[in-house]
Homo-oligomer: A and B are copies of this chain.
Amino acid sequence: MSTIQFKITIHMVSSLDGIIAKKDNSVSWFETSDHYDKGVETTKQEVDEFLKTIDCYVMGARTYEHALELSKSYGWAYGNIPTIVVTHRNLSIDKSNIGIYSGDLNKLVNEHLKPKYNNVWIVGGAMLAKEFIRLKLADEIRLSVMPIILGNGTLFFDYIDQEQALHLKDVTAYKSGMVELWYEIKNN
């Protein structure tokens, strides 16, 4: 019998210079024209299987609004998975699987996430990810580095102002030239 452990993962896609969003919010840079021969390829099915293991998404308000904007062209990226938008703003949300949370993040984790979910993903923005790291609430970081320098925009790690040791868990390079760096956050 295996016990599934509760885990919070921060997932971001960034350029090599650590930028996760361009000033104009355009996302065409996610589509790389690069080709890395030695890289692995994953099928849509494998990606879907993997995404099924995530049972809750947490995001900030601007990430939510951006995802909503993108959903007009590409559909809502987070399916029917329970999603929590952390914000003090009064967002009008019309999907039943999306909730709003405002307040203490420790309380969010211990009272709302831990009792209900196993595999929670923080998908942005930078401020929220930073708070989760600062408060030692995140267990892992998965950073997908795209083969591009953006040169300007929002930094993923915007001066967390706190040193944090990591443990490299895995590295995967894809045919697209994207490299996924997967770290455990050494919280103890």
Chain A residues within 8 Å of B, Cβ to Cβ: 16-18, 29, 33-36, 38-39, 133, 141, 143, 145, 147-152, 155-157, 159-168, 170-171, 173, 177-179, 181, 183
Q: Are A151 and B163 interface neighbours, CB within 8 A?
A: yes
Contacts of A162 in B (CB 8 A): 149, 151
Copies in the complex: 2
Distance in Å: Cβ of A74 to nearest Cβ of chain B: 22
CB-CB nearest in chain B for A38: B170
Which B residues are CB-close (under 8 A) to A173? 168, 171
Contact B18 A168 (CB under 8 A): no
Docked CA distance A167–B148 (Å):
8
CB-nearest residue of chain B to A150:
B163
Q: Contacts A166-B149, A166-B177, A168-B39: A160 and B33 contacting too (C-beta < 8 A)?
A: no
Contact of A163 with B141 at beta-carbon distance under 8 Å, contacts A18-B17, A171-B173, A171-B179 already known: no
Given A147-B165, A148-B165; 10 other pairs, CB 8 A cutoff: A16-B141, A16-B143, A16-B181, A17-B18, A18-B157, A33-B165, A34-B167, A34-B168, A168-B177, A171-B173
Task: Note all chain B residues with C-beta closer than 8 A to A155.
Answer: 18, 155
Bound: A147/B183 CA distance, A: 8
Q: Of A29, A141, A149, A177, which is in contact with the most chain B CB atoms at under 10 Å from its CB?
A: A149
Select from chain B the residue with minimum beta-carbon distance to A160: B151
30 contacts between A and B (CB under 8 A): A16-B141, A16-B157, A16-B181, A17-B18, A17-B156, A17-B160, A18-B18, A18-B157, A34-B167, A34-B168, A38-B170, A147-B167, A147-B183, A148-B164, A148-B166, A149-B160, A149-B162, A149-B166, A151-B160, A151-B161, A151-B162, A151-B163, A155-B155, A168-B173, A168-B178, A168-B179, A171-B171, A171-B173, A171-B179, A179-B181
